[in-house]
Amino acid sequence: MSEQVITQNPSDLFRPGKEAEAMHLVREYMGWSTGAGLIPIPLIDLAAISLVELKMVHSLANLYGVPFTRSAAKSIVGALIGGGGTYVLAAPVASVVKFIPIIGSLAGMIAEPAIAAAATYALGKVFIQHFESGGTLLDFNIRTQRHQYEQHFTAAQEKGTGDAS
């Protein structure tokens, strides 16, 4: 199965200055990831959050006219989130705790949506900054961006993910 590259009109490629519109998209996807965090079935919730985040990256790439490949985006998102210490531990714990009758379900349904929103916000901010600077999925540097992701994630948690700009 060949990888399909999705892009807009070539004259629209690398359009910087779209940050306000991009942040609107991020906030929209934060809502979707929060909703996915409310799914009461452990691990299905994590899969749904991942799909929302991948779709957000696709929408941001589309906005900036950056060629999108699902496999490249999945690798980047997985490496960014997988390297983010807090999220790597918190999200699966919040998901699995839902197995505990009543108390676990309530705790997981309170914690996980907030974690999902913060992670989606942080991911969106990192991609916006990268795309604003003319970057693509092919030149995304995980090492340099991981620190930015962690900072945005922490800021979003501290500010309740409303607008942690």
> Is 39 a member of any domain?
yes
pLDDT of residue 10: 44
Each of the 165 residues of the chain gets a pLDDT tens digit; together they read 445 544 444 444 555 579 999 999 999 999 999 999 888 877 888 889 999 999 999 999 999 999 999 999 999 998 888 765 555 445 555 555 555 555 655 555 677 888 889 999 999 999 999 999 999 999 999 988 988 998 998 898 888 755 555
Contact partners, residue 4, CB within 8 Å, separation at least 6: 69
Domain count, the chain: 1
Q: What confidence tens digit (pLDDT) does each residue in 107-127 have?
A: 556 778 888 899 999 999 999
Q: Which two tokens stand for residue 35?
A: 């909703």
14 falls within a domain: no
User: What is the value of pTM for the model shown?
Assistant: 0.78
Kindly state whether residue 107 falls inside one of the protein's structural domains. yes
Residue 108's domain comprises 19-158
Residue 8: inside a domain: no
C-alpha dihedral over 109, 111, 113, 115, to 10 degrees? -160
Q: Phi/psi of residue 68, each to 5°? A: -120, 130
Q: Is residue 143 part of a domain?
A: yes
Q: Which amino acid is at 36?
A: A
Q: Using CB atoms within 10 Å of the CB of residue 96, give its burial: 0 to 12 exposed, 13 to 18 middle, 19+ buried.
A: middle
Q: How far apart are CA 51 and CA 58, in angstroms?
A: 11
8 phi and psi angles, rounded to 5 deg: -95, -170
CA 114 from centre of chain: 13
- In this predicted structure, what is the pLDDT of residue 34? 93
> What is the C-alpha to C-alpha distance for residues 17 and 20, in angstroms, rounded to an integer?
8
